[in-house]
Amino acid sequence: MSRSAQLTLDWADGTYPFALKIEQLAELQEKCDAGPWYIQWALEVSLLARTAGFAPPKDANASYVIEPIRLGLIGGGMPAVEALQKVRAYVGPGQLNENIQTAYAILGVALAGAPDDEPKKPGAGKKKTANRSRAAKSGSRTSSETASPPA
């Protein structure tokens, strides 16, 4: 049972696959000097703050947006040089806010998996039969039934 933790997004000038594999997550942590769950939290708070008209967290920095996108492109199969060129073109100054959601989505799938990428459970797809309670099987009256008065 495994997950690909990959997603495909319409981003910048096309549609691209993104994936943060273990190697990319390790590099993300090194480049941002923060763990992936902290970065995800900071991005989420930034999205909420932007919606409410507030500033993002004081310790959030541009690498929290830039690096998940760059490394996600690499993990999705794009050569590193091309990924860097895309990020420089589409996630530069004045473009960070519009890319927070993309970075958040890439990181979220890496940490929790894609909703449609759930591993199959043993026995999945088998037809389920209705289970009856022991009381129903026995034919006895239940405690909520009222007894008929004796005749």
How far is residue 49 CA from its own chain's centroid?
20
The one-digit pLDDT tens for each residue of the chain (151 residues) are 456 789 999 999 999 999 999 999 999 999 999 999 999 999 999 999 989 999 888 888 999 999 999 999 999 999 999 999 999 999 988 999 999 999 999 999 999 987 775 656 666 555 555 555 555 555 556 555 555 566 5
pTM to 2 decimal places: 0.75
Among residues 77, 106, 76, the alpha carbon closest in space to that of 91 is found at 106
Question: Could you tell me the two tokens for 90?
Answer: 């589409």
